Structure 1
Amino acid sequence: MQKKLKLWDATMLVMGSMIGSGIFIVSSDMMRNLGSGYWLIAVWIITGIMTVAAAISYGELSSMFPKAGGQYTYITEIFGKMPGFLYGWGLFTVIQTGTIAAVAMAFGKFTAYLIPWLNDSHPIFQNGGFKITWVQILAIVVIIFLTFVNTKGLKNGKILQDVFTSSKILALLGIIIFGFLLIKDSQWAQNMSFGWSGFQNFGREVGNDLLPTDWKPISGVTLLGGIAAALVGSIFSSVAWENVTFMSGEIENPKKNVVKSMVFGTVIVMLLYLLVNFVYLNALDRDGIAFADKNRPAVAASEVIFGSLGTMIMAILVMISTFGCINGLVLAGARVYQSMAKDGLFFKSAIENNEHNVPGKSLWMQGIWASVLALSGQYGDLLDMISFVIVLFYMITVFGVIYLRIKKPNLERPYKTWLYPITPIIYLIIGTAFCVLLIWFKPQYTWPGFILILLGLPVYFFINRKKAN
């Protein structure tokens, strides 16, 4: 692997992979579960603490195993091939490819704001509940295009990532600044007047819209359930920062630059996320956030800030954001499947680099499967099921830091986790609480993800049986 990525490029990959469509959407559902500006901010702060604590902990592993494959490599080195394979299996079947499909669909849907014909046209094909639309076709075209660009060399993907990530960070800063300067009637005091009292309001379906009913006070264990449900959105909006570890083999001085990029990137993004939610609370009242049209509080806030141009401004921003996010996901994910193939746990053809010194076949396998998920329309359901598993894999990896400190204290550690063992323990405590509450209150988000990952077990044994023969 050629060392073509500098610290700036790695940091742009972290930030670009994190900032997709989630921050523009998930706060609506979070507000419906929490009903208070205080709790909305508190959940984003909890998510920020979790994310940065995990990034700091991963840094120790990235300095110990500075090679391509990242999280897959860490899990394999610490716990063995089977857990590593199950992570890679989940990454290829849903986590990475499903996220690529979902973000590409978000790109298509926000493009339809600028080109209404995309929304208004009849489906290309429809059979019962299954249909193929022009928005899906646009999403697939973007996936294929960015896959093609990344097969032509790391330099192309790097340039795209740097340009689009820089653009969306500047645009977000603009929204944040104008979100306070241009608001005449601030809703901040009203949103914060509920204090630490929790409320829930799941509304009622009318056509494609969700309209409010009555807000119901919640406390005790019900409030904890609301917090867990809200965390699903904020956590999913804050993942994918670990993508930079997949690229370790192509980063200059990976023992230092991978951890720096993860810490810098996650801290900056979580601060931006917090400030964007401040804008929502300043521009919109509680119902305005919770029941924004099509669950898009960013669009509703932008209309208040910029008037009739707001929808177009936000649509362009989300298109830039999602395009850059897809590129980062495409760029990084293929390196994991290549590492798995080298270990005999993926298609052999994924091992090869093409004439541009990138894993071309691995990129195309990822791009084709992500396109299938976009075409099927099932990516959203799959991602709901897998969010719980993503946190579990984070927890396994963070626990690996503690496990290695105990089992192999003499291993070289060019970087040691800041405030060890407090930092990894903080993540493990919050992650465990999240998982337990989710199992208790939202089991539909948990057991299907388990089953999906466990389906990888017979595949693993089949692969190893073939090798044994």
Structure 2
Amino acid sequence: MLGDLKVDLTRSIGLMQATAMVVGTIVGSSIFVQPSEVSRAVPSFWGMLLVWTVSGALTWFGASVCAELASAFPRTGGVYVFLREMFSPAAGFLWGWAMFWSMHSGIIAAIAMVFARYAATIVPMTDAGIRVAAVGGILALSGINYVGVRPGSAVQTGLTMAKIGAIVLLLALLFGGGTLAAPAAAGAVTATGFFRGLAAGLFAFGGWHMVTYAAEETLDPERTIPRALMFGTAVVVLVYLMLNAAYLLVLPFDRVLSSTHIAFDATLAAAGPAAASAISVLVIVSSLGAISGIILAGPRVYFAMADDGLLFRWMGAVHPRYRTPYLAIMAQAIWSSVLVLTGTYGTIVSRVIYTEWIFFG
């Protein structure tokens, strides 16, 4: 085992893979549910678009800061390294432990449950079957990342390209087949409602910083990571604004308010049931892409913490053949699976949001 700890990680993540990781980890399943959450907080056509614009701008500014820090500290660990170097080892330690027990493992579990629920619209499953499918997705993608960062990043890139292609198709269907719906009368927009909507919008943009966790496996990280952050975040901001405009184009605003699967409802209105059914496949692909990116990123933080003596030494073990932090990947997969089997989507997401805002607030 001690010999394993001396094996170095291998650099194989280029600009395309890093950008795919940024896009893939942001565009998970939130954009297919969060617009309705935003509209309920901000019951106004223009207010809703303003929330998404401000959310995108804040995300881009955050990515700009993260890009500068990634250039200054191009080490595996990302935000953990930034907090440790700029504040104290204790701050980095708290971030890393919160990642494992709540933030990253929790969001893996939550997105896996969304994946399984949409899979159940194609292959009917009981609640137990949905949980088993979610665990199966976690274990399969963890296994791919276990056997090498190159296969893991290749899967991430492929899923992200498929996801972007599917979203482009969705936009074409909505803008091409949609007719301007009669908007409902705008409700009152309050400061409290605006900030509630902003929190919901920012949650949909979460995950952009995860590419920094794999800095030591990135080719020329001082240049690659900042470029991937800037380009990837800009792509997502544009896609999110276009999707929200498309939703509002084809659905009456009161339908946007009440929808629990807005992408399905919008496509049904614009292009019919066959196209709407295909949205389930889109959400499945999107969810798998997000899970893959998070699985790839998280264990690199645990690896860095173990290397600094702030976590169990075995979490820093690198596989002698595959050159990946394999024990950290396994530990994350097991704990995420436990969360799937013992929790609900709502409780897991609430726990993730609460923990993240302790740091981001």
Paired residue for 1:137? 132
Paired residue for 2:70? 62
1:300 aligned onto 2:304: no
List 4+ stretches of structure 1 deviating above 4 A.
none
Paired residue for 2:333? 367
Name the SS for the 1:146 alignment partner.
helix
> How far 1:386 sits from its partner (Å)?
3.7
Unpaired stretches in structure 1, ≥5 consecutive residues: 124-132, 200-217, 395-434, 436-469
Paired residue for 2:85? 77
Cα RMSD over matched residues? Answer: 1.4
Paired residue for 2:302? 337
8 A Cα contact 1:22 1:233, kept in partner:
no
Task: State the distance in 2 between where 1:143 and 1:137 align.
Answer: 10
Task: State the distance in 2 between where 1:171 and 1:7 align.
Answer: 22
Task: State the distance in 1 between where 2:80 and 2:71 align.
Answer: 15
Task: State the distance in 1 between where 2:346 and 2:32 align.
Answer: 16
Paired residue for 1:376? 342
Residues 344, 379 of structure 1: alpha-carbon distance in 2 compared, 3 angstrom cutoff? farther
> How far 1:228 sits from its partner (Å)?
1.7
Task: State the distance in 2 between where 1:225 and 1:54 align.
Answer: 23
Amino acid at match of 2:141: L
Paired residue for 2:277? 312
1:190 aligned onto 2:156: no
Task: State the distance in 2 between where 1:83 and 1:344 align.
Answer: 14
Task: State the distance in 2 between where 1:237 and 1:373 align.
Answer: 21
Paired residue for 2:218? 251
Amino acid at match of 1:76: R
8 A Cα contact 2:112 2:134, kept in partner:
yes
Amino acid at match of 2:341: L
Paired residue for 1:52? 60
Give deviations 1:13-43, integer Å, cap 9, x for gaps. Answer: 0000111000000111211121111111110
Residues 386, 138 of structure 1: alpha-carbon distance in 2 compared, 3 angstrom cutoff? closer
1:37 aligned onto 2:82: no
8 A Cα contact 1:304 1:310, kept in partner:
no
Name the SS for the 1:94 alignment partner.
helix
Amino acid at match of 1:49: A
Amino acid at match of 2:283: V
8 A Cα contact 1:25 1:296, kept in partner:
yes
Task: State the distance in 2 between where 1:303 and 1:261 align.
Answer: 35
> How far 1:287 sits from its partner (Å)?
1.9
8 A Cα contact 2:76 2:215, kept in partner:
yes
8 A Cα contact 2:162 2:285, kept in partner:
yes
Give deviations 1:176-220, integer Å, cap 9, x for gaps. Answer: 12211111x321x525x63xxxx3xxxxxxxxxxxxxxxxxx35x
Give deviations 1:148-201, integer Å, cap 9, x for gaps. Answer: 111111111011011110011111111112211111x321x525x63xxxx3xx
Paired residue for 2:144? 149
Task: State the distance in 1 between where 2:242 and 2:284 align.
Answer: 20
Give deviations 1:441-464, integer Å, cap 9, x for gaps. Answer: xxxxxxxxxxxxxxxxxxxxxxxx
Task: State the distance in 2 between where 1:25 and 1:149 align.
Answer: 28
- Percent sequence identity over matched residues? 30
Task: State the distance in 1 between where 2:333 and 2:311 align.
Answer: 16
1:92 aligned onto 2:100: yes
Task: State the distance in 1 between where 2:330 and 2:279 align.
Answer: 31
Task: State the distance in 1 between where 2:74 and 2:221 align.
Answer: 6
**Larger Cα-atom Rg:** 1
8 A Cα contact 2:78 2:214, kept in partner:
yes
Task: State the distance in 2 between where 1:276 and 1:364 align.
Answer: 36
TM-score where L is the length of structure 1? 0.73
Give deviations 1:214-249, integer Å, cap 9, x for gaps. Answer: xxxx35xxx111112212221111011111000100
Amino acid at match of 1:166: M
1:24 aligned onto 2:19: no
Residues 379, 296 of structure 1: alpha-carbon distance in 2 compared, 3 angstrom cutoff? closer
Give deviations 1:386-440, integer Å, cap 9, x for gaps. Answer: 425424534xxxxxxxxxxxxxxxxxxxxxxxxxxxxxxxxxxxxxxxx5xxxxx
Amino acid at match of 2:122: L
Name the SS for the 1:4 alignment partner.
coil
Residues 87, 370 of structure 1: alpha-carbon distance in 2 compared, 3 angstrom cutoff? same
Task: State the distance in 1 between where 2:166 and 2:19 align.
Answer: 18
> How far 1:378 sits from its partner (Å)?
4.0
Paired residue for 2:203? 236
Residues 256, 392 of structure 1: alpha-carbon distance in 2 compared, 3 angstrom cutoff? farther
> How far 1:381 sits from its partner (Å)?
2.0
Amino acid at match of 1:153: G
Amino acid at match of 1:260: R
Paired residue for 1:356? 322
Among 236, 256, 274, the alignment partner of 1:269 is: 236
8 A Cα contact 2:107 2:348, kept in partner:
no
Larger RCO: 1 or 2 (CA < 8 Å, sep 6+): 2
Unpaired stretches in structure 2, ≥5 consecutive residues: 1-8
TM-score where L is the length of structure 2? 0.94
Amino acid at match of 2:261: R
Among 163, 170, 173, the alignment partner of 1:178 is: 173
